[in-house]
Structure 1
Amino acid sequence: MTVLAAAFATMACAQAQQAAPKQQEPVKQAAGEKVQQVEVKGSAQAYDPRRDDTASKIVVNNAEIVKYGDTNVLDVLKRLPGVTVSGGAVRMRGLGAGYTQFLVNGERPPSGFSLESLAPDSIERIEVMRAASAEFSTQSIAGTVNIVLKRVVSKASRELKAGAGLSRGLLSPSASLQLSDKAGAMSYTVSLAASRNRFEQDVRSIEENFDLARRRTMLRESSAHNVGVNEGINIGPRLSWTFANGDTLSWNSFANKHRFDMTSDRRTDTSEGQGVPLPDSNSRTAGDFEYARTDLNWVRKLGDSARIDIKGAATYSRNGSDIRRLAFNAQGDTALDSVTLTGADEIGYTTTGKYSTPIGDGHAFAMGWDGGYADRDDGKQRRETGLPGAFPINSDEDFAAEVTRFAVYGQDEWTITKHLSVYLGARWEGIRTTSSGNTFATTTSRTGVWSPLFHTLYKLPGMKGDQVRFSVTRTYKAPSTSALVPRRFTALNNSVTEPDYQGNPKLQPELALGIDASYEHYWGEGALLSASVSMRKIEGYTRRGLILDTDGRWVSLPVNDGDAHTRGIELEAKFPLKAVMKDAPNVDLRASLSRNWSTVDAVPGPNNRLDSQTPFSATLGIDYKAGALTAGASYAFKNGGPVRISENLGSYTSVRRDLEVYAVWKFNPAYQLRVAVSNVLGQDYINDSTYADSFGSSRSRTVYPGPTVARATLEVKF
């Protein structure tokens, strides 16, 4: 990396000297000659981060975010090129959960934060960064998705939205309010959003065991009837002052409350083999999540276009759950009556600072720090009784974790010529996690990662709109706090396909060396064709291990095991139909596809891919506008297939097809009606896992129904 950077810098200096312009003699005006005046106008809209930034970035504005009337930001993300959503986790390059970094306003949200609780109406833009930059954490092996909440005030505005969704006869209302205005040097923005989503579903599961001759030795079927509700409310106030010397001071806050409540009745029937000890159960699960954040941001302008940007923030989150469960044996007697109460409180403080200044012509140098401290207290109370004479369980677990994080970085983006720009950056980030509890010994984990970064953008001379990119990055994936803590979470009917879970305090971060290259062709307004390839070598790959403990229970835990390799190809096209057809209607088209491969060295083949990797995904979209009507559709396809997680464990991901349509009718500048239908095809969600050893094999398959949802929203500006 050092030799590469030095060689490139030397070449850049030579090109810059050769490209120095020669001084020209002033042009003399002839007597009586009329001088032609030329007016040059600049606009911030002329800057396109997708095209002009040296590091690859896609920016999705608010108009695209709210197009389909979503109440869940996950539904927005699944339509973005190169992004897939699976099980509530956002993924890039097909890599599983944890490899894609998720940020809110450039910072990592606290543990327990759910994307489902974030309303799209409160979002200003979404930034999808395919390669790491030094300014943000380099815990982004696959890439980074940064959600920027509404902050900018260009003019006074007031907007109210009220809508409702309908699915299987259940009504789910939602509403949002946006207010912004200016008063002299001060401006303010307030956003408020609330939603209530009701659901009812019948979940089906089947579990089979086979001997070595592939004869079935057990067949077990389960059905569960779930009824529940998701409720959430967001509020985001912002105040900003601009002083006479150009300095700015802003106060930004965001508060979120999310509630989940579900009742479930489950029955398990065993038609072949030995039955489970608790075939019937009913339960109620209630959960509350609260999150609040406030920060103060000061930007001080210095001479020669330099400036200092300092921000301090405080966060608070609380995540609690109440699980009440009754289970019955084969004779119908109450064999389990349990209550499990959990509560986690986390307080965090962060500080960031950035000094940026131009250095000569074309240099944009920046350096800064990023630090944080979080204190998490977690408690769990379990009260359990069984049949008469059985020994009751009364356990109280207390757990505390302290996470300290600090990073320093420097970066230089250099426009060497009008065709060539280079980005050089480096970041060191250290994390210390200390966890303690009354059921395990105190453990401390320390990690430190040095990340050099290199990006280049070359605009091909003589070929208007054609450019190539190349990046070399060092990134990593740090273990989550829950993955480090050796707490035990037990399963109701413990088996190889339904094991207990426990963290591993010896877990180390995964380190990745990445190479990215792409070719982009821009023609016409809004027209783009791009092709990109990527490779990652991951050291210390973390996979899901499975052990049988001394009590005869199966336990799943994360372990570091060798290296893994990934490769990928992404293609994207978007353009107005008028760019290829004369006198075409006002239609915009977009399409993307991603093909990904991976291998895990420690796992024998075939299908020894990274766990939950999406091998192939594609999106298609069309938008049409005619007078007061705007309409469109989006289709997302995601292929799965078999994955061998370890020598014994495997899983299968089914094909996923999502079709959505929308239409907006604008009655006048103040009123418009938006109608959308999601999951038009009624696609179900399927989980499939397998286990095989020298005695035979097991397979478990669960189908979660995916309902079709129709939603109508009235939008008013006043």
Structure 2
Amino acid sequence: MQDHSKPFRLTIIAAAVALAASAHAQEAQTGAAKATSTEAPMQKVEVRGSAEAYDPRRDDTATKIVVNHEEIVKYGDNNVLDVLKRVPGVTVSGGGGRGGEIRMRGLGSGYTQILINGERAPAGFSIDSLAPDVIERIEVLRAATAEFSTQSIAGTINIVLKKAIKTAQRELKLGYGRGPDYSNPTANLQLSDRAGKLSWSLAANAIHQESARPSPALEQGYDAAGRSVLLRETTSYSATRFDALNISPRLNWNLEGGDTVTWQTFINVNRFRLNGTSDITTVYGAPAQYPHQWLPMTNDNQFFRTDLNWTHKLESGSKLDLKIGGVLGGLGNVTRRLAYNGATQTLDSKIDSKGTDRGFTSTGKYTNPLVENHALALGWDFGYNNRTDARLQRDASIAGQPAYLSDEHYKGRVLRFAGFAQDEWNVTPRWSVYLGMRWEGIFTRIEGNTFDTAHTRSSVWSPLMQTMYKLPGTKADQVRLALTRTYKAPDVQSLIPHRFLSLNNSSTEPDFMGNPDLKPELARGIDAAYEHFWDGGGMASISASTRQITDFTRQLTIFRDGRWVGLPSNFGNARTYGLELETKFPLKSLWAEAPALDLRASVSRNWSTVDSVAAPNNRLDQQTPVSATFGLDYKVGQLTTGASYAFKNGGQVRISANQLAYQSVRRDVDMYALWKFDPKNQLRVALANVLRQDFINSGSYFDQNGSVTRTSITPGRMVVRATMEMKF
């Protein structure tokens, strides 16, 4: 792979250098002639101090898409995953509802870095329990920057929580969602005010959700000659209840000399309860070990984070930004597994799991404009996390089987330290360059009472370069190029060499076991884009990207000690490519007499190949080949309405020489209408998943003895939501 890719990399780098040199020469030759009329105003246009005039998508050297609060709450979502599925280039895995995975470039397995206020959430925190109303903005970074962790092979999504504002605010939102076997009342309170040099804000959100749905599955087996030897039909039904509370207080002091001190806390408490049943009918073939199951489960999760931030301005114009923070998280899970064979009980198992996360973080950044048109920054990022888990399993003596007792506990310590330097250089009024370097080291120690203590160490140097050039003779066209080195470190759960048992163990329902020998995945990336902007807020862009990944990780299924086991393993090298088109514009920008209609659309095409797996369909982690979004908003008088369509292609993926996975195509249509009664009261009505499309996924295992395929269906449903929004 290296031999074939080296000429390509050198060609790209050479082209970038040539473009930069050509641009600089052209600016130098024409600078004197244009200084009095053309270029001088452009230097003044770099007035990035005006919040109204500044557009990060257009003005930042580093590529960034910012989704503001108005866009976040537009459709009345109570789940941040539903917000992100409408963002260009972002897809959400799963069949809707809770538990999906956020992906950029269609890649899963943690390739997309998710941050809250610039920092990673601890293990166990469910991002889909974060209410959209407490979010100020969402930043989507397609290429890495040195200030954030470079564990972002696909990209970074930074969720910024609400901050204090300059004017007083009192707002209450009461909502209710309804669908087939689904109800979802919500309440949201926003308060903020100022008192001299002190400003404060409080955002609180409460969610209650009850849901029930069937989930049928079909398991089919064939022998080596292709004859059908197994057919099982599973009827599953689950009733769930979810309660969550988000609280985010913030205090901000403006001190003498321009210093500021900010204290922000985020509290998330949620409980998820499930009452599930599963009945397996074996039409022919070997019967399931536990054909009738009852699986009640309760999951409690608490997450507390607090940060203290001090910003100090020096007389030289430099600035020092220091932040310390603490994290405390708790997870409790109680699962019962009861099984029956007709009227005879065959299993009574109770699993009680508890985990805690305690952590400390410290970040600092020193910025100094050493030279005119430069913005130099140096900083560090330190974090320590201590996670403890205990798991007690009790199996009662039933049907002649002996009683079973398992008391396991393990502890994981993760120490992370990073240092970085970056500089944004405005070489000419049309050409800017961002250069960054980050070193990040991660040290992990895992110990338990059922396995040997494991130590892992990894460290990565990440040189980064991004550049933006505004084409001569126009104010609307610009090109971008980024060269990055990123990585993905294995999480603690993937490293623990403990086996978690499945109930009906098979090649399609294996046990899970961590792998302490996992190595980090390393990636070299290239991103390029052309962007066109026009008056009225319209834009169009085309971007291309590639990543070359070494030691990529894949979930393999093997037969060990008489049982099927799935474990993560490094699996060689892989490559991924992407092409993305995006546009958004008000119709009036093309036709002056057009109605007040805003349009937006995007299409992403992704490819990937894995060297160690034979074609076809040897894509990375069920990568989404094609995704697209289309949306429109229309305003007339007091009424604003709109609709959004999100498309995500599915298809088959070859995981290994013996494994296949499949996901169905997903199409989501959402609609909303907002009626403003007066400046303080408005009603928002929304429809989610109008098409009510089912989600289908399957997994297959095959070898010289034959094959087994398990296919499951998650039914789709439409939800109607109404929210009354009141300011007082």
- TM-score of the superposition, structure 1-length normalised? 0.95
After the TM superposition, which of the residue ranges 1-10 and 406-415 deviates more from structure 2?
1-10
2:165 matches 1:153: yes
Counterparts of 1:611 and 1:23, CA distance in 2: 52
Instruction: Specify the alignment match of 2:497 in structure 1.
Output: 486
Report the 3-state secondary structure (helix = DSSP H, G, I; strand = E; otherwise coil) of the residue aligned with 1:582. coil
Q: 1:121-132 alignment to 2 at 5 Å?
A: 121-132=133-144
**Displacement after TM superposition at 1:704 (Å):** 1.2
Instruction: Specify the alignment match of 1:460 in structure 2.
Output: 471
Structure-2 change in CA distance of 1:466 and 1:23 (3 Å):
closer
Counterparts of 1:386 and 1:581, CA distance in 2: 77
Instruction: Specify the alignment match of 1:670 in structure 2.
Output: 680
Q: 1:620-635 alignment to 2 at 5 Å?
A: 620-635=630-645
Structure-2 change in CA distance of 1:42 and 1:155 (3 Å):
same
Instruction: Specify the alignment match of 1:502 in structure 2.
Output: 513
**Displacement after TM superposition at 1:362 (Å):** 1.1
| 522, 526, 539: which one aligns with 2:533 | 522
Residue type matched to 1:618 in 2?
A: A
Judge conservation of contact 2:345–2:399 (CA < 8 Å) in 1.
no
Residue type matched to 2:696 in 1?
A: I
Structure-2 change in CA distance of 1:8 and 1:414 (3 Å):
farther
Residue type matched to 1:63 in 2?
A: E
Structure-2 change in CA distance of 1:12 and 1:375 (3 Å):
farther
- Give the number of aligned pairs: 702
Q: 1:230-379 alignment to 2 at 5 Å?
A: 230-329=242-341, 331-379=342-390
Q: 1:128-139 alignment to 2 at 5 Å?
A: 128-139=140-151
Judge conservation of contact 2:181–2:211 (CA < 8 Å) in 1.
no
Structure-2 change in CA distance of 1:12 and 1:243 (3 Å):
farther
Instruction: Specify the alignment match of 2:440 in structure 1.
Output: 429
Instruction: Specify the alignment match of 1:75 in structure 2.
Output: 82
**Displacement after TM superposition at 1:683 (Å):** 1.4
Instruction: Specify the alignment match of 2:58 in structure 1.
Output: 51
Report the 3-state secondary structure (helix = DSSP H, G, I; strand = E; otherwise coil) of the residue aligned with 2:120. coil
Can you list the C-alpha shifts for 1:315-353, whole angstroms capped at 9, x where unaligned?
Answer: 000011110121012x43111001101010010000000
Residue type matched to 2:622 in 1?
A: S
**Displacement after TM superposition at 1:43 (Å):** 2.4
Counterparts of 2:419 and 2:32, CA distance in 1: 37
Instruction: Specify the alignment match of 1:555 in structure 2.
Output: 565
Instruction: Specify the alignment match of 1:65 in structure 2.
Output: 72
Residue type matched to 1:255 in 2?
A: I
Counterparts of 2:54 and 2:35, CA distance in 1: 30
Can you list the C-alpha shifts for 1:56-103, whole angstroms capped at 9, x where unaligned?
Answer: 100010000000001000000000000000131110011113000000
Instruction: Specify the alignment match of 2:233 in structure 1.
Output: 221
Instruction: Specify the alignment match of 1:205 in structure 2.
Output: 217
Structure-2 change in CA distance of 1:289 and 1:206 (3 Å):
same
Q: 1:612-691 alignment to 2 at 5 Å?
A: 612-691=622-701
Can you list the C-alpha shifts for 1:364-418, whole angstroms capped at 9, x where unaligned?
Answer: 1101000000001100010012424311111111010000000000001001111
Can you list the C-alpha shifts for 1:14-57, whole angstroms capped at 9, x where unaligned?
Answer: 788768769999xxxxxxxxxxxxxx996211010000111110
2:427 matches 1:420: no
**Displacement after TM superposition at 1:213 (Å):** 2.5
Residue type matched to 2:331 in 1?
A: N
Report the 3-state secondary structure (helix = DSSP H, G, I; strand = E; otherwise coil) of the residue aligned with 1:470. strand
Q: 1:98-109 alignment to 2 at 5 Å?
A: 98-109=110-121
Instruction: Specify the alignment match of 1:407 in structure 2.
Output: 418
Residue type matched to 1:360 in 2?
A: V
Counterparts of 1:643 and 1:707, CA distance in 2: 27
Residue type matched to 1:569 in 2?
A: L
Instruction: Specify the alignment match of 2:43 in structure 1.
Output: none
% identity of equivalent residues = 53
Counterparts of 1:392 and 1:712, CA distance in 2: 52
Instruction: Specify the alignment match of 2:610 in structure 1.
Output: 600
2:396 matches 1:385: yes
Give 5+ residue unaligned stretches, structure 2: 1-8, 37-46, 95-99
**Displacement after TM superposition at 1:612 (Å):** 1.6
Can you list the C-alpha shifts for 1:425-482, whole angstroms capped at 9, x where unaligned?
Answer: 0000000110000111100000000000000000001122100000100000110111
Instruction: Specify the alignment match of 1:700 in structure 2.
Output: 710
Counterparts of 2:21 and 2:82, CA distance in 1: 47
Instruction: Specify the alignment match of 1:34 in structure 2.
Output: none
Residue type matched to 1:161 in 2?
A: K
Counterparts of 2:521 and 2:232, CA distance in 1: 38
**Displacement after TM superposition at 1:283 (Å):** 1.5
| 91, 95, 99: which one aligns with 1:84 | 91
After the TM superposition, which of the residue ranges 195-204 and 683-692 deviates more from structure 2?
683-692
Judge conservation of contact 1:19–1:417 (CA < 8 Å) in 2.
no
Counterparts of 1:11 and 1:170, CA distance in 2: 61
| 91, 97, 100: which one aligns with 2:109 | 97
Structure-2 change in CA distance of 1:316 and 1:514 (3 Å):
same
Report the 3-state secondary structure (helix = DSSP H, G, I; strand = E; otherwise coil) of the residue aligned with 1:44. coil
| 582, 587, 597: which one aligns with 2:592 | 582
Residue type matched to 2:285 in 1?
A: G
Judge conservation of contact 1:544–1:646 (CA < 8 Å) in 2.
no
Judge conservation of contact 2:151–2:489 (CA < 8 Å) in 1.
yes
Can you list the C-alpha shifts for 1:178-210, whole angstroms capped at 9, x where unaligned?
Answer: 001110010001000001011010010000001
Counterparts of 2:33 and 2:612, CA distance in 1: 61
Counterparts of 1:290 and 1:81, CA distance in 2: 32
Counterparts of 1:513 and 1:632, CA distance in 2: 40
Instruction: Specify the alignment match of 2:6 in structure 1.
Output: none
Instruction: Specify the alignment match of 2:456 in structure 1.
Output: 445
Residue type matched to 1:493 in 2?
A: N
Report the 3-state secondary structure (helix = DSSP H, G, I; strand = E; otherwise coil) of the residue aligned with 2:119. coil
- TM-score of the superposition, structure 2-length normalised? 0.94
Counterparts of 1:406 and 1:217, CA distance in 2: 55
Counterparts of 1:75 and 1:309, CA distance in 2: 34
Counterparts of 1:407 and 1:12, CA distance in 2: 34
Judge conservation of contact 1:534–1:568 (CA < 8 Å) in 2.
yes
Instruction: Specify the alignment match of 2:482 in structure 1.
Output: 471
Residue type matched to 1:92 in 2?
A: M
Counterparts of 1:383 and 1:23, CA distance in 2: 81
Residue type matched to 1:579 in 2?
A: S
Residue type matched to 1:394 in 2?
A: L
Can you list the C-alpha shifts for 1:277-298, whole angstroms capped at 9, x where unaligned?
Answer: 2100112010011000111100
Counterparts of 1:73 and 1:24, CA distance in 2: 48
**Displacement after TM superposition at 1:244 (Å):** 2.1
Can you list the C-alpha shifts for 1:689-714, whole angstroms capped at 9, x where unaligned?
Answer: 11111111111101112221110000
Judge conservation of contact 2:134–2:205 (CA < 8 Å) in 1.
yes
**Displacement after TM superposition at 1:576 (Å):** 0.5
Structure-2 change in CA distance of 1:246 and 1:19 (3 Å):
farther
**Displacement after TM superposition at 1:128 (Å):** 0.2
Residue type matched to 2:511 in 1?
A: D
Can you list the C-alpha shifts for 1:460-516, whole angstroms capped at 9, x where unaligned?
Answer: 011221000001000001101111111111110000000000000000000000000
Judge conservation of contact 2:72–2:132 (CA < 8 Å) in 1.
yes
Judge conservation of contact 2:508–2:710 (CA < 8 Å) in 1.
yes
Report the 3-state secondary structure (helix = DSSP H, G, I; strand = E; otherwise coil) of the residue aligned with 2:58. helix
